[in-house]
Amino acid sequence: MKMVEIIDGGVTTPQGFKAAGVHSGVKYRSLDLGLLYSEVPASAFVGYTSNNVKAAPVQVMMKENSEKLSAVVVNSGNANALTGRRGIEDALEMKRAVASALNLDPLEVGVMSTGLIGRFLDMHKIRYGISRAAGALDSGREADGLIAQAIMTTDTIKKECAARVRLQDGTLVYIGAISKGSGMIEPHMKVLHGTTLSLITTDATLSPKFRETWQSILDDSMNMVSVDGDQSTNDTCILMANGKANGKCADDDPEFIDALRTVMTRIARTIAKDGEGATKLIEVQVTGADTKDEARKVVKTIINSPLVKAAIFGSDPNYGRIMMAVGNSGCKFSLDDVRLTIKGGDMEVPILDSGAPIFQEERAVEVVRMAMDNKEVTIMVDLGVGKESATGWGCDLTYDYVRINAEYAS
């Protein structure tokens, strides 16, 4: 077996986890409330939005900051953001309702919301949904699919992934993940501090000191996704480790860390690929940076440029827009040493070398256009000043993105 093996699965693939997704009535017809449950209290590692306008569920979670969670409830269709004291009380009531249904302490219950901002929750519907979900908890692919669907808003596809890996002590552990996210996406989540909500489960054993590693994985995966450069009020990412595999602590196990990073990267790519109105996935690889932070900043500047995103949408080989974004990043680079390459499908086309174009002929321009005319386009930039690198993911800017967001609240 490979060290890290991607398998068909979701959040209930690891031992000891159950899930449910139901229709509570917050949305007209769709599933809109999900519940995840661990048979034993799980070590919890949580990343929250860095937006200074934080939704009620984020405020509640950050204040309590429990290191153990047995359940997480998620509603979609209503973000419970900009809802004042009532929103805080509604988020607390969601925790209490789950605790009552599952015989837990409310401190063991996490809460997340996504959807329209500035609307109060109908708690009669939420309580009804929680009661239904608690009675429907199950494990297996059907349960995985139901909770993955229940947390979706403008998403067009379910986002889930699972992997198994054998640790250095011989223990076989599983990792499962679901996420939602399509618009209002440029996460900058910190562990100690249109939305991405993510739930990751594992039956590995982790201690509180894994928090620093978790932040590093977030920074290289979810925090390197951008659909539109707008950070949500609700971004939350929760990792639950319940230890049911009965192995040694995996805090420093390189196989586990690699497996978790693999799962999170796949989820991040899927979020970018399903950006609102997106037709293409953009991957940006920056090498030769002076620092890791500068490499990340250049990646984000390129991904967030409306001109770059529009060029990718139209397969327009206007590489000046990419270099404009590099220059606008404010990061250190050597124009005399910059190299730029665009890859699409089986085509990898060098465009700039030593800061000058490799080609001028119209036929060569058409080769670049052909590379860009793929569902996945990779932009590779070598800044020529150091040894640090970063990779991030975004999507093209289409007519449908404007339509979806112009009509979102109506």
CA angle 213, 186, 322 (to 5 degrees): 105
Residues in the chain, total: 410
Confirm if 149 and 22 have CB atoms less than 8 A apart: no
Amino acid type, 252 = D
Neighbouring C-beta atoms of residue 400, cutoff 10 Å:
12
DSSP labels, 329-388: TT----TTT-EEEEEETTEEEEEEETTEES--SHHHHHHHHHHHSSSEEEEEEE-SS-SE
Q: Name residues whose C-beta falls within 8 Å of residue 406's C-beta, 6 or more positions apart in sequence.
A: none
Q: Which of 195, 202, 213, 265 is catalytic?
A: 195
Q: What region, left, alpha or beta, does residue 220 occupy, with left being phi > 0 and alpha being psi -120 to 50 degrees?
A: alpha
Q: State how far the Cα of 117 lies from the Cα of 79, in Å rounded to an integer.
A: 5
Rounded distance between C-alpha atoms, residue 368 and residue 383, angstroms? 21
Reduced to 3 DSSP states, what percent helix, strand and coil does the chain have, rounded to the nearest 5? 35, 30, 35
Beta bridge partners of residue 45, listed in sequence order: 239
Query: Using CA atoms, how far apart are residues 290 and 269, in angstroms rounded to an integer?
Result: 25
Q: Is 114 a catalytic residue?
A: no
| CA separation for the pair 105, 152 (Å, rounded) | 27
Are the C-beta atoms of residues 172 and 163 closer than 8 Å to each other? no
Please list the active-site residues.
Answer: 195
